[in-house]
Chains A and B, each alone.
Chain A
């Protein structure tokens, strides 16, 4: 048998579910009242709605929702700052933690908006797409990804997984402590992003000798805005 005769599966875009950011990267479901089981039409079928007005309406609706949410969050932030609530009964670490988490909410809103734009662009493309199988899109698409050089010092075997959203491009990255699944285990704290040569970011990770084996994970944030732009995990041991 010659090799050319045998068909091969194409490589999958991904092989695992997205357990995080799923809120922001889902495509919209069919509109209410659609045919039962009205999933996205398969290759060759038309786009979900196929109407410009629907696409535009959805985009506008999402945009307004994002803007309203932003205004609301902004009002709350201002209110909190006016009351000097950050200084009340909490130290600066806690304030920082709040800021990061607070910005996470904002980030979700922005990602939703960005996701809607991507979805709408996709819908528009579908209107004129030939009936060929549409390659599934990756949630962690690498377009526009920031280049990162990783250096790890570890007395134990360690594997690093870094997921950066495309919007991380050009950001000054920072990472929070990487926590283990078991809250009883100490966090991995010696993790640092620094600007490298040629616009690249350097990521230095040092795993202490006594670090218990586990998967340590945490958020990567934009240092300037505090917005999460990705995740970093380090599998120590095994």
Chain B
């Protein structure tokens, strides 16, 4: 550490954003310029990504967390963290980041078949070169031009799949006879002129080439070339080609789709791809200085509809699946799917076209164990202080009348509720070791707390917003206790902890009014039969777009070795979805609210398992509407084998379920028209405060780990000018 007094930074909130900011600010290269203290409510880091080890050391999460293969910032920082940690592989099972993640290439959607039943449609996404977080070697993978080419290429692949399904092979002469696109092949391949394109389209139509799927594929090949050099062609030529493809594909494939379920699904995707391409060109996204933001006022369904997508395609499993991954339902209402079109487009393109290694990466243990325990250990080594059981009560601004002329408003004090005191004033030790891996427990270690036995007996819920009991209070003052603040709580908490700022500042009011969040619900089941025995054939597969309220399901069998069951379960599955908000928001005094919502989740889950799960796991039910409850593995039963066993739905009580209703636990939405109300971590209105979280204007304005990490890095940049904008991968993106 340098001899000069370090700059004191208070990071409030130990989720992905806050921890990323702390990691950046304490890099050794800063030479101790910043001393960071992380203030955390309750006993564990992680925010929405917190996990805990419960009975039998089972992993209990807020929901199903998956890291997408394009989370470049999140992976990059975590890889650095593991490298710095230098764990001994002989002692710790996750010494390297690669030990901690497993590729999950099977991703699927659930879709209705014509007879109304649910069917799962799984796709295997092939591995792509490199690993997430590797240095980028291409100039810029994020140009609209490259996205257009990849999308057009996908279109051709999908059409080829339709053709293969139809049982015909491409006819090399089909288009060749017309001489329409000879310049696309062979060594003389080159970008055609606009007039050549016009002539080629005319020939394709004139010779009736487009009357076959092979001809449509040929036209798609032409499209690929055209969008790769979009600047050279008038917009109307490209649109004309697209429309010719759409019209003729419609004629060819619609008939086949009526008879073939697989082709019907492919056709839905083709329609969405065509609408996306058409929209990108029609709305001038390749040239607009606002990039994809320009369409953020539209809902993505509305925008696709404007560009030719049919209602059938918009209601397909493919679209619902993407929407489900983003919890994109306003107020948690499945009848109100809403997602800003630009955010959706950016996310979809990045997800499918810029992933590395695998499309999805699953963690081999809890997110807390894989992500936040390593960060905690590294940050401790770097000298970061952690203050657990500190709940932020108020961000207090300096009195406006005391500001000097030209002086900006600033944070004068931070008021905290101290939820519990640690014995003898010691530092709370939050981790436990399970099979050599440092983990977070599902409950605090009451033994370390003053009056811990009483707190446990009285059921103090340290993570509940409605829990008002506290052991004390603390006020931090600027200059004395901190120089800068990184406010890294969830958006739902902002109106409660930033009352003064929201009251004074119209931008903050607009932000809390428009950047909405949604409650979520989740449950996990441990079962005594393997997934294949239940009728599920996709190892580690995840499926989305299934029936509400649990529209996402993930096979998590890979976690079994990490838990400590006397008799190991043979399957683990996670389910999650949105949880509708009540008509009237709960009051601050409704201490019973979390329990009531949790009861609701239990009822939902039981109903879901009885009624719906049979569509995915046909052998998990004994009748049309009864789940085989004896499948569930009860940890208490394993602990005490002589215990009376229940084999009815009451057995579900032994599983894990949660209602994520705390303001800070709510998932951040990207509603149409909301992006312009987000505030950047770089904003300097309050010159000793920056914000961090997936709710900020962080370049990738979507609720996810990657956005949170990007935001945390931006917050660090706001204080230290590091990392440079250019190193925040995907910040500068169309």
Contacts and interface: CB of A to CB of B under 8 A. Distances in A.
Contact of A139 (B287, B687, B697, B732): B732
Given A11-B684, A231-B289, A18 B732 contact: yes
Given A27-B726, A29-B137, A101-B230, A36 B289 contact: no
A151 B223 CA distance: 42
A10 to B, nearest CB: 7
A37 B290 contact: no
Contact of A36 (B29, B133, B233, B683): B133
Contacts of A6: 410, 478-479, 483, 688
Interface stretch (A89-97, A142-150, A166-174, A195-203): A89-97
Question: Chain A contact residues: over half helix, strand or loop, or mixed?
Answer: loop
A135 B80 contact: no
Interface in A100-119: 101-102, 104-105, 112
Contacts of B721: 10, 43, 133-136
Contacts of B719: 9
A12 B723 contact: no
A42 B28 CA distance: 9
B432 interface: no
A39 interface: yes
Contact of B229 (A10, A12, A29, A105): A105
Interface stretch (B35-43, B186-194, B349-357, B528-536): B186-194
Given A76-B191, A102-B232, A41 B29 contact: yes
B205 interface: no
Given A42-B30, A44-B30, A217-B288, A89 B198 contact: yes
Contacts of B283: 181, 183
Contact residues on B (Cβ < 8 Å of other chain), bracket: 35 or more
A17 B139 contact: no
Nearest to A48: B135
A37 B80 contact: yes
Given A19-B292, A31-B135, A44 B682 contact: no
Given A7-B484, A22-B732, A32-B135, A90 B194 contact: yes
Contacts of A112: 139
A83 B230 CA distance: 20
Interface residues of A, number: 70
Contact of A19 (B195, B410, B717, B733): B733
Contacts of A94: 234
B367 to A, nearest CB: 19
Contact of B722 (A3, A22, A23, A42): A42
A40 interface: yes
A27 B726 CA distance: 6
B282 interface: yes
A26 B233 contact: no
B308 interface: no
Nearest to A42: B29
Contacts of A131: 31
Given A30-B135, A83-B193, A101-B233, A14 B725 contact: yes
B723 A42 contact: yes
Nearest to B81: A37
Interface stretch (B102-110, B293-301, B415-423): B293-301
Contacts, number: 201
Interface string B451-488: 00000000000000000000000000011000110000
B137 to A, nearest CB: 5
A181 B291 CA distance: 10
A175 B726 CA distance: 29
A26 B137 contact: no
A37 B232 CA distance: 38
Contact of B684 (A9, A34, A39, A136): A9
A64 B444 CA distance: 62
A39 B723 contact: yes
A19 B289 contact: yes
Interface string B684-698: 100110100000010
B233 A98 contact: yes
B717 A136 contact: yes
Nearest to A161: B289
B76 interface: yes
Interface in A207-222: 215, 217, 219
B699 interface: yes
A68 interface: no
B132 to A, nearest CB: 10
Contacts of B292: 19
B7 interface: yes
A44 B29 contact: yes
B724 interface: yes
A83 B684 CA distance: 57
A25 interface: yes
A45 interface: yes
A20 interface: yes
Contacts of A3: 404, 407
B76 A26 contact: no
Contacts of B29: 41-45
A30 B729 CA distance: 12
A177 B165 CA distance: 46
Interface string B516-527: 000000000000
Nearest to B98: A36
B388 to A, nearest CB: 26
B680 A181 contact: no
A36 B196 CA distance: 47
A157 interface: no
B734 A36 contact: no
Nearest to A133: B721
Contact of A38 (B135, B233, B478, B699): B135
A15 B339 CA distance: 24
Contacts of B684: 9, 11-12, 15
A7 B718 contact: no
Nearest to B412: A1
A8 interface: yes
Contacts of B699: 17
A133 B697 contact: no
A9 B714 CA distance: 13
B131 to A, nearest CB: 8
B294 A8 contact: no
A225 interface: no
Nearest to B136: A29
Interface string B542-553: 000000000000
Given A16-B680, A42-B29, A133-B720, A37 B136 contact: no
A232 to B, nearest CB: 9
Given A22-B143, A37-B76, A233-B289, A1 B479 contact: yes
A36 B134 contact: yes
14 contacts: A1-B479, A6-B478, A6-B688, A7-B688, A9-B687, A9-B688, A12-B683, A17-B732, A22-B142, A90-B195, A97-B234, A101-B230, A181-B297, A183-B283
Interface of B: 7, 27, 29-31, 76-77, 79-80, 83, 97, 133-137, 139-140, 142-143, 190-191, 193-196, 198, 229-235, 282-284, 287-295, 297, 404, 407-408, 410, 478-479, 483-484, 680, 682-684, 687-688, 690, 697, 699, 717-727, 731-734
Given A6-B478, A183-B283, 9 more contacts: A9-B684, A9-B718, A17-B291, A17-B732, A18-B732, A40-B727, A43-B721, A101-B231, A101-B232
Closest 7 CB pairs of A and B: A19-B291, A101-B231, A37-B80, A42-B29, A36-B79, A231-B289, A85-B195
